């Protein structure tokens, strides 16, 4: 049930947060249900977002994220600056490997992918630019977690470690040992921990050569 105490900003954010990788387009009823609003409020606030460009209407009348929101998101300092610096190296790595190449940053206890180059003949992956993932299962996530502040590591080790495949590490003690290995060896390997046919390797970016 919708709370009358919710601010306008909270309602707008709730509408935008109703979308995810599995819900790229929503009709008004779905939008209201997923944002926790009554239909009339969802309709009114969604219309404001459409006018501003954060949402747009499809030919069938459903709602989807608008380009205006993407334009703003692309200006995020961490993502923009990092992508500009890293893209030439990502392209070089792709030329050498012809495999998927991805760039991510840590945000809290998750990682966010800020760039991705997909190999034409590479296996499909679950990642996408702007997508979030747990830190404990992906190669890049293991590197970010291994060199994260101690309180971040402790929070991840204490929290739930969801399993994506039978290979995903869900034992905190095993993960703790793996993070120590990553720090010592300078790279991380995610061996079928996200998909049954995917292996990813990520180096410690502070090491050269």
Condensed to tens digits (0 to 9), the pLDDT of residues 99-109 reads 888 888 898 99
Structurally, how many domains does the chain consist of? 2
Q: In this structure, is residue 208 part of a structural domain?
A: no
Q: Are residues 33 and 84 in the same domain?
A: no
CA distance 21 to 150: 31
pLDDT of residue 80: 66
Domain finish residue from 41, 68, 95: 68
Percent residues over pLDDT 90 in the chain: 48
For the chain, how many residues are written? Answer: 209
Domain span at residue 38 reads 8-68
Residue 158 CB neighbours (<10 A): 9
Q: Are residues 47 and 99 in the same domain?
A: no
* Mean pLDDT within 14-25: 90
Domain finish residue from 44, 68, 92: 68
SS3 of 67, please? helix
- How far, CA to CA in Å, does 96 sit from each of 89, 122, 183, 188, 206? 11, 13, 25, 19, 20
pLDDT tens, 59-88? 999 999 998 987 887 777 666 677 788 888
Q: In this structure, is residue 2 part of a structural domain?
A: no
Q: Are residues 64 and 158 in the same domain?
A: no
Beta 132-134 vs 63-65: how paired, if at all?
unpaired
H or E element at residue 29: helix 28-35
Q: Is 199 exposed, middle or buried (0-12, 13-18, 19+ CB in 10 A)?
A: middle
DSSP structure class, residue 124: P
pTM: 0.66
């Amino acid at each position: 049930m919708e709370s009358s105490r919710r601010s306008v900003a909270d309602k707008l954010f709730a509408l935008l947060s109703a979308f995810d990788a599995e819900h790229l387009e929503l009709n008004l009823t779905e939008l209201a249900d997923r944002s926790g609003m009554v239909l009339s409020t969802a309709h009114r606030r969604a219309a404001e977002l459409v006018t501003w460009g954060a949402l747009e209407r499809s030919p069938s009348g459903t709602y989807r994220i608008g380009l205006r929101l993407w334009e703003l998101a692309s200006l995020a300092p961490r993502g923009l600056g990092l992508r500009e610096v890293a893209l030439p190296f990502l392209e070089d790595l792709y030329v050498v490997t012809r495999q998927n190449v991805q760039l991510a940053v840590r945000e809290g206890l998750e990682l966010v992918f800020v760039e991705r180059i997909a190999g034409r003949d590479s296996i499909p992956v679950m990642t996408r630019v702007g997508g979030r993932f747990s830190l404990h299962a992906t190669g890049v996530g293991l590197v970010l977690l291994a060199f994260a502040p101690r309180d971040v590591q402790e929070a991840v080790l204490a929290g739930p470690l969801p399993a994506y495949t039978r290979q995903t590490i869900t034992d905190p003690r095993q993960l703790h040992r793996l993070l120590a290995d990553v720090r010592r060896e300078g790279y991380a390997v995610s061996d079928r921990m996200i998909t049954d046919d995917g292996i990813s390797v990520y180096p410690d970016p502070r090491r050269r050569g």
